[in-house]
Amino acid sequence: MTSTREERLRRGPLIAAVLGGGLGLFFLAIGLNRPSIADMRTIDLVHLLATGGCFGAALVGVVRYLVGHRKG
């Protein structure tokens, strides 16, 4: 296993993007099934923060994947 950096496949950011996006959609679906936004409890805020975090991680993964392919 003495491959150079250029020979190795770059799948890390893409896997993170797919996983983060999938979890973000899952948490968003859970959050949208809540009865009311006006009566938000602590657990609703945790779901909202988890959704934003997963979508943020997915966006960072996609950007890193695209920038990595553009450089070489």
Instruction: Give the per-residue pLDDT at 63.
Output: 83
Query: Residue 51 in contact with residue 28, Cβ under 8 Å?
Result: yes
| Residue 1: pLDDT over 60 | no
| Structure confidence by residue, pLDDT tens digits, 10-57 | 666 677 777 877 887 887 787 777 776 657 778 887 888 888 888 888
Distance CA 10, CA 38 (A): 44
| Integer angstrom CA distances of residue 62 from 1, 38, 71 | 27, 33, 14
- pTM, whole model, 2 decimals? 0.52
From the CB of residue 25, how many other CB atoms can be counted at a distance below 10 Å? 14
